[in-house]
Structure 1
Amino acid sequence: MEGPPGFSDDFQENEVCRLKKALYGLKQSPRAWFGKFTMAMKRYGYKQSNADHTLFYKKRGKLITCLIIYVDDMIITGSDQEEISSLRRNLFTEFEMKDLGGLKYFLGIEVLRSKEGIFISQRKYILDLLAEVGMVDCKPSDTPMIINHKLKIIEGAKAANKERYQRLVGKLIYLAHTRPDIAYAVGVVSQFMHNPQEDHMEAVMRIIRYLKGTIGRGIVFKKNSHLDAEVYTDADWGGNPNDKRSTAGYFTLLGGNLVTWRSKKQKVVSLSSAESEFRGIAKGITEILWLRKIMKEIGAPFKRPVRLKCDNKAAIKISENPVEHDRTKHVEIDRHFIKEKIEDGTIEIPFVKSEDQLADILTKAVGTKAFELVLSKLGIGDPTTQLEGEC
């Protein structure tokens, strides 16, 4: 360790500072650690991504090496084996590191590899959650939430344990990282964190019972012959019984694999179903722009417009119609934003029927292969490596 600025010159040999407070107790310690790590990576010739500041990459001709960090856990991957080995040596020299080998378990997410692709799930996380709530032997539920649930805050209703409710919902939110099938249900129950009631707690327990019957589900990433992007957007109109706001969601497919998804209640009340769909399209486009940016940085830019699929003809017509009128003047910013991206060739908005859209998503994106089935087909040879470091 070095002496504080202004005191360094007064230190004699064998003199030390007495540290009165641990480094991990300081509010600025994460910033200091990440700042030092960033400077080290830049010295090694890596660039920090502008789309995701936790991503560092380095190109050598057609080869690329990527490192992504979460606090002090790192994943290294890429096509440049020589650079990967060099980076590991440099990190071991400057930081205290542990090489955990091939990526198998990262932040509660299990990673399995086979000839068919990569399968990620949170099986152990679900089992731990079931054990915590004492529902290991519970009867599974067929769906995560009742159709047309109409959950809302009822005046005078019996309150649930607020601390327990918040803890369970927080775990479910993290679990949605590999389970898009519960994203909507978790989004609904998270709206009552400030004042949970018994009905809300029952909805949370139904999600947990659904997980009991689908423990082995997750997402499969297959190696396909293209890197085309597709986005599916949808929204319900006035579906929230408390404030009549709509809920919009989108799925993003890259190379035929599901990479991002979201289900979120809109911030304003929509006056028509077309308007709620319209705002959902705008959110889907922002995700496309982020994906375009990050793919361009790592050397795989999109070669054709992204197809954003919507099931509302009125919203599509408004996107393409340059005429201003009373029904669209209150969504003017979103309208011009969408129209601009259509004109510059960033996106296309074809119409797709609701039933076709759902079937397409299920067949292309959501991997439901059982954990044991993937485990029996494990392969070897993936260059992905996980590291853990300490400052």
Structure 2
Amino acid sequence: MDKFIPLSVPNFKGNELNYITDAIEAEWVSTGGAYIDRFESEFAAYVQTERAVACQNGTAGLHLALILAGVEADHEVIVPTLTFIAAVNPVKYLNAHPVFMDCDDSLCMDMSKLKKFCLEECNFIDSKLINKSTGRQIKAIVVVHIFGNMADMPAVMDIAEEYNLKVIEDATEALGTYCLEGRYKGKYAGTIADIGVYSFNGNKIITTGGGGMMVSRDPGIMKRAKYLSTQAKDDAEIFLHNEVGYNYRMTNLQAALGVAQLEQLENFISIKKENYQIYKSKINDGLNGLKILDFREDIRPNYWFYSLYIVNLEKYSRKRIMESLAKANIQTRPIWGLIHEQKPYLHNQAFMIEKALAYYTRVANIPCSSNLSANDVYRVIDKIAIHVVKQGD
């Protein structure tokens, strides 16, 4: 049988073992230790923010971000429908209500529809955006940078300023992505909005096994994020807690792994860019009816995931392509089920969902690990090509 080619797995070829061994030998393995401080500091330096706060995972970071944005029970939060459900569930944790927005061709939130929704479906009264159909206040927007692409941040920040909304960047898939031009030139994904959140899950571009990170341009928000994520300790010696806090801390072992991974991030991005370009040139130019989706031209993406797009649904089935690759021992993944169609969210408002429906039926993700060799990439392409020939291209 051919070698298994996974979709996206970690790459541990740096100082991971050295740093983890050091943490174990120092006997700092839990939620305290030098590597946590080091990871936060080096991460902040990489994305060019003053401070970063490590947390348990990206979902915990998003939960805290919503709290810090002032979201409370019965508020509404505008979210994308085309995303992983972890970007939306924290809204429910607070007994608030998501309002689902469509995507554009970047797969990120459609800002023209967001603007239309605010203008036509809401009233702006006393500096509050009120949803006409529900009477609830819309408090925030969660923008997700899908697959390492980047949403139109100038547009969403203009809308947020006009309607007094907080913006949370879910950059869990976009560590290393940054703007190449415009007023945010040089700004990294996650550092433009009020609060940014990252994930280090096992399939992300760098991993700590789990884990996440929060950033903000507001030092007060970062101070409060640290406070809430560490059980809201007002006096650690006599255990005084004036608020309900959360055990959302990262462990020192995870942080040790993160420091080693961060050292390799730019190399990972270079490898992923090279493999992306091979996929794109061979599939877009050689396989009629299929293509690899582009990233925005005004950004340096991190090339996290590669999206195989079926142009011609009459000729090709996403399911059949994925089944064909599975038989060849190649792992793929369909794009997520749209969140507004999931059972917990059927009764929530969804506004003009159109493109997301089309992309849902046409996109599959193909192997993209940073330790993927060029030979592996060509093997994936060859297996896709064989399937195309069998389908009568």
TM-score band w.r.t. shorter chain: under 0.3
More contact order relative to length (CA 8 Å, sep ≥ 6): 2
Greater share of strand: 1
TM-score (norm 2): 0.26
- Based on CA coordinates, which of the two structures has the bigger radius of gyration? 1
TM-score, normalised with respect to structure 1: 0.26
